[in-house]
Amino acid sequence: MEEEEIIEPEENTTDEARVNVDPKEIRNTAILIVGCTGAGKSTLGNWLLDENLFKTDFRMDSVTQVCQTISIRIDGRDFVLMDTPGIFDEVGNNEKHLPRIEQLVNLCTYGIQAIILVIDIKDYHNFERTVRIIKKFFGNGVTNHMIVAFSNVSKDQNETNRIESRLNSSMKEFLKTVQNRWIISPNPDVFKSDDEVVKRCMASIKDMILKFGNAYHLYNFNEARPQKYWLSQIFFIVIVSCISYAVGYYWHTLFDS
């Protein structure tokens, strides 16, 4: 394992956010929020920001139809927080949303510090399919960069931070693959941003984010789709070869004349 890059915090360590970050101008490591439609990805993003900057709705159709990016500062380190469209969305299906997420990931040239998978703790039906798609999309190594956030948890379980009785065997096994990095995303109908439950949960997930040593990079992403990657490389080589041949032919005919 490579040594973790040490980044000295700035004097102002207050968490800050800025809306409407142009994806083409991403200049910091990203934090990616993914998950099933209606799981509460945008809600978690707003908890992290301590502001309602991501659009949310409590219906089961996907509110986030396009990728949203907002800059955030955690303990003096700047990141780009990214909210993505939901998986298994009946309004805009995977064939529409996954390419958008892929385009966004390809813009993350500084890497992805953490991938936060938001899971509705009651949605047992979609859990395994969601995990399967995430692993196929990002590669099996994605679990080394992942944090799980459970939503739709009861008030008592939020307050005690104990959810073991709500997890099925598949969820418990999956948590082992991510080294038990999980938190609860509090219900905004029950808790406010200044509640101790929210502060504790957000402090916990921010600590996990900062502890990742190596970011998830584009080469990890490309390894998950080798056929597409190598086709792009072959296409690039062919284009370069054609240009080189054309230039060489031009100079050859120029000197011959």
What's the pLDDT tens digit per position in 5-23?
Answer: 333 334 334 454 443 445 5
Residue 230 has pLDDT above 70, yes or no: no
The contacts of residue 196 (CB under 8 Å, 6+ apart) are none
pLDDT at 200: 95
CA proximity to 38, closest of 101, 138, 118, 144? 118
CA proximity to 36, closest of 117, 152, 106, 122? 117
pLDDT at 24: 58
- Are 69 and 21 spatial neighbours (Cβ–Cβ below 8 Å)? yes
Rg (CA), the chain: 21
Beta bridge partners, 32, equal 82, 115
The contacts of residue 7 (CB under 8 Å, 6+ apart) are 76, 77
SS3 256: helix
Q: Which residue has the tokens 């104990």?
A: 162
| Token reading at 204 | 């916990």
* CA distance readout (Å), 171 to 34, 97, 149, 167, 195: 16, 25, 12, 6, 28
Establish how many alpha carbons lie within 13 A of residue 4's alpha carbon, considering only the half-sphere containing its beta carbon.
Answer: 9
| Token reading at 202 | 């957000």
**Rounded distance between C-alpha atoms, residue 134 and residue 191, angstroms:** 29
* CA distance readout (Å), 223 to 78, 139, 141, 232: 27, 7, 10, 13
- Are 83 and 67 spatial neighbours (Cβ–Cβ below 8 Å)? yes
Total residues found in the chain within this entry: 257
Summarised one tens digit per residue, pLDDT across range 122-163 is: 888 888 888 988 888 888 889 999 999 999 998 988 888 889
Directed axis angle between helix 124-138 and helix 94-106, to 10°? 40
Summarised one tens digit per residue, pLDDT across range 171-225 is: 999 999 999 999 999 999 899 989 999 999 999 999 999 999 889 988 888 777 6
More confident residue, 53 or 60: 53
Quote the distance between the C-alpha of residue 104 and its chain's center. Answer: 10
Residue 91 has pLDDT above 60, yes or no: no
Residue 62 has pLDDT above 60, yes or no: no
Average pLDDT over residues 163-168: 88
Cα–Cα–Cα angle for 56, 178, 213, rounded to 5 degrees: 95
